[in-house]
Chains A and B, each alone.
Chain A
Amino acid sequence: MLEFFNLTQTIHIIVIVGSMSLFTIGLYGVFTQKQLVKVLVSFSMMEMAVFLFFIGLHYKESFTAPILDNNIQTFTNMVDPVPQAMILTTIVIGLAILALALSFGIEYFKLTGTNDISKMNELKD
Chain B
Amino acid sequence: MNLKKDLRIKHIFLSLLSSILMISIVSILFNIKTDLHQSVGELFLAINMETASANAVTTVVTFFRGLDTLGEVTVLFLATTGISLMLSSAKRVHDKVIEQESFILNIGSKLLLSVIVLFGVYIIVHGHLSPGGGFQGGVVIASAFLLLFLANPNMNLNHSILTFGESISGVSYVLVGLIGLFKLNILFGNFLPHSISQIGDLISGGIIPIIYIIVGIKVGSEITVIIEYFIKREAQNA
Whether chain B is bound by chain A comes out as yes
**Interface: A68 (CB within 8 A):** yes
Residues in A with CB closer than 8 Å to B15 are: 28
Are B75 and A96 in contact, with the CB atoms below 8 A? yes
The answer to whether residues A78 and B87 also contact, given A21-B22, A89-B68, A89-B72 and a CB cut-off of 8 A, is no
Are A103 and B76 in contact, with the CB atoms below 8 A? no
Are B42 and A80 in contact, with the CB atoms below 8 A? yes
Residues of chain B from 153 to 174 with CB closer than 8 A to chain A in the complex? none
Are A89 and B25 in contact, with the CB atoms below 8 A? no
The answer to whether residues A60 and B37 also contact, given A67-B54, A96-B80 and a CB cut-off of 8 A, is yes
Partner of B57, one of A27, A66, A76: A66
Residues in A with CB closer than 8 Å to B230 are: 99, 102-103
A81-114 interface code vs B (CB 8 A; 1 in, 0 out): 1111100110111011101101110110010000
**Interface: B104 (CB within 8 A):** no
Partner of B219, one of A58, A92, A97: A92
Residues of chain B from 64 to 122 with CB closer than 8 A to chain A in the complex? 65, 68-69, 72, 75-76, 79-80, 82-83, 86-87, 89-90
**Which residue, B15, B29, B65, B219, has most C-beta atoms of chain A within 10 A?**
B29
A85 vs B68: C-alpha distance in the bound complex, in angstroms?
11
Residues in A with CB closer than 8 Å to B10 are: 32
The answer to whether residues A75 and B135 also contact, given A16-B30, A57-B36, A92-B219 and a CB cut-off of 8 A, is no
The answer to whether residues A106 and B25 also contact, given A68-B54, A74-B49 and a CB cut-off of 8 A, is no
Partner of A103, one of B25, B29, B83: B83
A86 vs B190: C-alpha distance in the bound complex, in angstroms?
21
The count of chain B contact residues (Cβ–Cβ below 8 Å) is 58
Are B55 and A67 in contact, with the CB atoms below 8 A? yes
The answer to whether residues A67 and B131 also contact, given A20-B25, A32-B11 and a CB cut-off of 8 A, is yes
Partner of A106, one of B17, B86, B219: B86
**Interface: A31 (CB within 8 A):** yes
Partner of B60, one of A74, A76, A85, A104: A85
Interchain nearest-CB distance for B214 vs A (Å): 14
Residue on A nearest B53 in the bound complex, by CB: A68
Residue on A nearest B130 in the bound complex, by CB: A67
Residue on A nearest B54 in the bound complex, by CB: A68
Are B39 and A82 in contact, with the CB atoms below 8 A? yes
Partner of A78, one of B17, B56, B139: B56
Given A20-B22, A99-B79, 6 new contacts (CB under 8 A): A20-B26, A32-B10, A32-B11, A100-B79, A103-B230, A107-B89
Using a CB–CB distance below 8 Å, which chain B residues touch chain A?
10-11, 14-15, 17-19, 21-22, 25-26, 29-30, 36-37, 39-42, 44-46, 48-49, 54-57, 59-61, 65, 68-69, 72, 75-76, 79-80, 82-83, 86-87, 89-90, 130-131, 133, 135, 139, 199-200, 219, 223, 226, 229-230, 233
Using a CB–CB distance below 8 Å, which chain A residues touch chain B?
13, 16-17, 20-21, 23-24, 27-28, 31-32, 57-58, 60, 65-69, 74-76, 78-85, 88-89, 91-93, 95-97, 99-100, 102-104, 106-107, 110
What are 7 A-B contacts with C-beta separation under 8 Å?
A28-B15, A32-B10, A67-B57, A75-B48, A80-B37, A93-B76, A100-B79
Closest 3 CB pairs of A and B: A80-B41, A66-B56, A96-B79
